[in-house]
Amino acid sequence: MRKLAGSLLATFAVAAVGAQTAPPAKRSIEVFLPPGNLPPADSVQVTLGRAKLPVTSVVAPHSTPGIVIIDLAATPVERHACLVLELAQAMPALGDMPVYQTGGTLGEILYPAGMATGLHLSLMGAVSRLEEQCRKPVAPRTPPTIAEALPALDLIRILTARYRGQGPLRIFWLSGDFEFYDWRKYQARNNNPRMRSQATAPPNQFSTFSGVGEFLAESLSLGPATIFPILGGTQRSVDAGRYLAESTGGRFRLTTNKPGEALRAAVEESKALSLATVELPASGAGPTTLRVQVGRDTHADRLLSLRPPRPDPTPALDEIANRVVTYSDELGLGSGCAEGREGVFVKLILPEGASKPDPGPLLVYIQYFLPDRRSLRQRLVLPRPGPLCIQLNEQAPGSRFIVVAHDEQTGWTGAKNGKLNSSKSK
């Protein structure tokens, strides 16, 4: 009897917990309104298909999270320098907004450094070198393939999940080619001449490859997120970039002859967008089109999915992207760490302001440049407060090395070159 009573109580408890944690019938999201003055809430209408959705509030522009993707995976190598130059000249205006790089590039443009915690950094090269590389001619190329487009799509899925619940995520997507997202070729493949002649198409008829619209809709609906594409140095995929922006609620820009201007303008423009809070069904199908109408003449459509994200394995962030940082050359290398111990030691000397009063660990990466080109690296986590001492690897006296130090609390990164000889480092 006691066992039966206990079983019934357990069943009741499970049922009670299940009732308390039942998923809500509705959820609220914030969406950006088309550019313009702050409208009254009763002038904003939001529809999902034929259903009209409640707009609970309209608020003035305020700070929402933002990230930059520099998509080198879908950009020809010859155009990498121009994209990085656009980013380099806009970096001061980004503040602490994180920048992520997909795809590899030339080491003299972005130098990769893998930290001990799995964080992968890319140190931006000198502007003069970027300008020199950017002036080189570019050969025609074919549109990016599905494999070249996937890293950015995976990165968007990871980041939208990470920023979920923090307000609309602004994604500034800097790429040399958006032709992968050209809906007109999708329509042409489906042999629909009428759609090919139209200037626009519903967001749910998205991309050259079927399935991409659904994949992107699920990711962008998590936060939600809005994409602001910036196309670097080519006119060929302007229509595709513009359609990508219009299908995700953002605005499109083309880089100009003034590097950094387009990315800076996109960031500033996004800060001036008002937001509406909309009630959505908690679940449903997708992808579909959410329309935001302000007054009679102004509207914006965007991809939306009420379907939960698919349970596909999601790669780790460091597997597909590096964090791009500017670095300081004020990092110093000194002595005074040996204290009677054998070996070659170097002391890291940080400039003032490189860390907070209660600093966390310092991440350190050392790359040795050996004559036979063998790979030799060190990755360390140095606790603080305490002496920032490193014992160097003495396998190849006379080799050059670079030390990269990164403070995750402040985002400060320093780099310094040195040379290893038999007795000391310089």
CATH of the domain at 245: 3.40.50
Share of the chain above pLDDT 70, in %: 83
379-395 average pLDDT score:
87
| Domain co-membership, 198 together with 289 | yes
Inside any domain, residue 80? yes
The predicted-structure confidence for 109-132, as pLDDT tens digits, reads as follows 899 999 988 889 999 878 888 888
Domain boundary among 300, 323, 346: 323
For the cut 70, the answer to whether the pLDDT of residue 72 exceeds it is: yes
Which pLDDT score is estimated for 166?
86
Which pLDDT score is estimated for 396?
63
227-237 average pLDDT score:
85
Which pLDDT score is estimated for 94?
93
| Domain co-membership, 345 together with 386 | yes
Measuring CA to CA, which residue among 192, 171, 138, 155 is closest to residue 248? Answer: 171
408-422 average pLDDT score:
85
Low-confidence winner among 186-195, 203-212, 269-278, 382-391 (lowest mean pLDDT): 186-195
Which has the higher per-residue pLDDT, 2 or 276? 276
> Which residues make Cβ contacts (< 8 Å) with residue 264, sequence separation at least 6?
90, 93
For the cut 60, the answer to whether the pLDDT of residue 186 exceeds it is: no
246-255 average pLDDT score:
90
Inside any domain, residue 43? no
Inside any domain, residue 300? yes
Q: What is the dihedral of CA 88, 92, 93, 95, to 10 degrees?
A: 120
76-82 average pLDDT score:
87
CATH number at residue 370: 2.60.40.10
pLDDT band at 424 (very low <50, low <70, confident <90, very high): very low
Inside any domain, residue 387? yes
| Domain co-membership, 75 together with 129 | yes
Domain boundary among 264, 296, 323: 323
pLDDT band at 14 (very low <50, low <70, confident <90, very high): very low
| Domain co-membership, 386 together with 258 | no
Domain boundary among 323, 357, 389: 323
Largest CA distance in the chain: 86
Which pLDDT score is estimated for 226?
92
Domain with 164, as residue range(s), is 66-323
| Domain co-membership, 158 together with 256 | yes
Inside any domain, residue 60? no
For the cut 80, the answer to whether the pLDDT of residue 276 exceeds it is: yes
| Domain co-membership, 116 together with 136 | yes
293-304 average pLDDT score:
83
Which pLDDT score is estimated for 182?
67
Inside any domain, residue 25? no
| Domain co-membership, 290 together with 350 | no
Average pLDDT in the chain: 81
Which pLDDT score is estimated for 382?
93
207-223 average pLDDT score:
74
Residue 215 backbone dihedrals phi, psi, to 5 degrees: -60, -45
| Domain co-membership, 380 together with 246 | no
pLDDT band at 208 (very low <50, low <70, confident <90, very high): low
Which pLDDT score is estimated for 209?
62
For the cut 50, the answer to whether the pLDDT of residue 19 exceeds it is: no
| Domain co-membership, 373 together with 301 | no
Rounded CA gap, 298 and 314, in Å?
Answer: 38
pLDDT band at 416 (very low <50, low <70, confident <90, very high): very high
Task: Note the Cα 8 to chain centre separation in Å.
Answer: 50
Inside any domain, residue 9? no
Measuring CA to CA, which residue among 155, 165, 158, 173 is closest to residue 309? Answer: 158
| Domain co-membership, 183 together with 278 | yes
Which pLDDT score is estimated for 268?
95
Both structure tokens of 9: 């109580």
Q: Which of 136-140, 190-194, 392-396 has the highest mean pLDDT?
A: 392-396
| Domain co-membership, 337 together with 252 | no
- The count of domains in the chain is 2
| Domain co-membership, 89 together with 211 | yes
Inside any domain, residue 289? yes
207-220 average pLDDT score:
73
For the cut 60, the answer to whether the pLDDT of residue 423 exceeds it is: no
For the cut 60, the answer to whether the pLDDT of residue 15 exceeds it is: no
pLDDT band at 12 (very low <50, low <70, confident <90, very high): very low
